[in-house]
Amino acid sequence: MSKPERLPGALIEAYAHGALAEREDRADCLSPALSTHHLRLEIGDPHALERRPRLGNRQRTQGLSGSVRTDPPRRKCANRAIKTPAMNSPDVQPSLDTGHVVEGQMTPEVRVIGLGIAGMVVLAIAMGLWRGMISAQPARAALVAGLITAEVIFAAALVLLGSIVEGFGYGLSLGTRWPYTRNIIVLMLRGDPEAAHRVLATAVGLTALALAILQPQYMTLVGLGLIVLTALFGMGTLYVLAGRAPAFVHGTHGLLAYLVFINYLVAVSFPGAHLGAYLESAVPLHAVLFAVFMGGMVTGQRGFGKPIEPFLRPQRTAQWIFVVHGIAALLVLATLGWLSAGYPVAFGLALLQAAVGFFLFHAVNSRPKSPGTLVVFHQLMAVLITTAIVLQWHG
């Protein structure tokens, strides 16, 4: 017979905080032992019945002060209904959704970075409108050109929003419910990065769908397919953070997100180019995409709010994966260094990125739940390196 499953710790802590406050208000209604037992039952401790207090006649009349009373003090409680939420209430019932809700850290940095990314979204819309209006092509083609331009910036903003989610501990702020939760727009307006991430992902998907309908060709169909896969693996990352899926899922999600960005960036920079053929010839991107994949693996393997821990010789799986990620970063440096004449900007950014990665490793170990702004900066550098490679590509 399997042991009964406890409620997740975060839910117990949140509920017990409110429950204990209520107990203080009616402390002299019950003996200490009975109050503790009552609280255990309310927060769903499956072993409470096994540990229920057994009080003798003398103990039943013993008050909080330890003196013996012939009559328990019920005057203050006689007309007060004891409010205990039902265990089938959605706020108390353990489930896949509520069981993994973990609030992130709202700081001034989160608000400032969030405003910056909101500015990127506004810029995407403005650039899309501008591109469509100045185009000399027919209206349909001009609309497609504007949507592709907007999609590039949308995709980059989505990657950066994901870095806020990771960097400030919002990965499970909505639990494992996907893709939406109640009041998601309200949550986004209140500043929840995970809610904003999902809303923007919806905008990216709808834009891709519109492009596929308006101009059903290789680039738009591949882009739509990549976005669908990215969304599905994005759902999987929630289970990775909750410890219920392998790190491979997290790494693949990051890789697909960058492929979406590259697909539309190539479409803007080199109209008519196919993503597959482009990736085959853009050698530096091979190393970058491998490093992106391994970076996602590092995040997924260490788990939500857990450090990698400093090491000289790797012992744990997370440490071995970090070593491989470091090798991938060195491969990026070696590739861009070898081809630095053609990719000078990307090579300079890669050197800076290596230093950022070093400090980020220490931030993850000192503040594992919310490493902070360095995560965002690390991801921004990766986006800029990718952009520089694509724009400086000469075929």
Please report, in tens digits, the pLDDT of each residue of the chain (395 residues total).
444 444 444 443 443 444 434 434 444 444 444 444 443 433 344 444 444 444 444 444 444 334 444 444 444 444 444 343 443 443 333 333 444 556 666 788 888 888 889 999 999 999 999 988 888 888 889 999 999 999 999 999 999 999 999 888 888 878 787 877 778 888 888 888 888 999 999 999 999 999 999 999 999 999 999 999 999 999 999 899 888 899 999 999 999 999 999 999 999 999 888 999 999 999 999 999 999 999 999 999 988 778 999 999 999 999 999 999 999 999 999 999 999 999 999 999 999 999 999 999 999 999 988 898 999 999 999 999 999 999 988 76
Angstrom distance (rounded) from CA 114 to CA 191: 8
H or E element in which residue 364 lies:
helix 344-366
Structure tokens at 366: 């000192």
What residues have CB less than 8 Å from 79, skipping those under 6 apart? none
Cα–Cα nearest to 15, from 48, 51, 55, 42? 42
- Spatial separation of the C-alpha atoms in residues 334 and 344, rounded to whole Å: 13
Q: Are 191 and 197 in contact (CB under 8 A)?
A: no
- Residue pair 118/158 in contact (Cβ under 8 Å)? The answer is no
